[in-house]
Amino acid sequence: MANTFFPVVSTIVEASTGYNQLGKDYHPQNTDYKISIGYEITDGDDNCLVQKVQIRYDGKIVGRRSASFPIKSNDWENVKVAMDRVEAFYIQQTNKSLRNCII
């Protein structure tokens, strides 16, 4: 599958792992979220600047799986704070050729 998303600025947020009160896993160990602003190619091949949250297992983005946030965790709040930080960094950039910068 070809890449259709090209991050400009990203950061990584650790996901909640381990067991919740129901005895089920939140997420497997070594799970995190990649929070980015970047360009996505749409059906018309136009580049569209988007905010994106991707879930990663063992450092690899899981294709075709949406990020999920366990209700009794702080994951969603942590992701929102991280997105604000990524957006602020992106807005301050004067280097328009910046790509795949991890902050």
pLDDT of residue 11: 97
The phi, psi pair for 78, rounded to 5°, reads: -65, -40
Average the pLDDT over each of 19-23, 51-55, 98-102 and give the range with the smallest value: 19-23
Q: Classify residue 61 by its DSSP letter.
A: E
CA distance 37 to 29: 26
Percent of the chain at pLDDT exceeding 90: 40
Q: Which residue has the higher pLDDT, 29 or 21?
A: 29
Q: Classify residue 79 by its DSSP letter.
A: H
Residue linked to tokens 């950061």: 11
Count of the separate structural domains present in the chain: 1
Whole-model pTM over 0.85: no
**Domain limits at 79?**
5-102
Q: Which residue has the higher pLDDT, 81 or 3?
A: 81
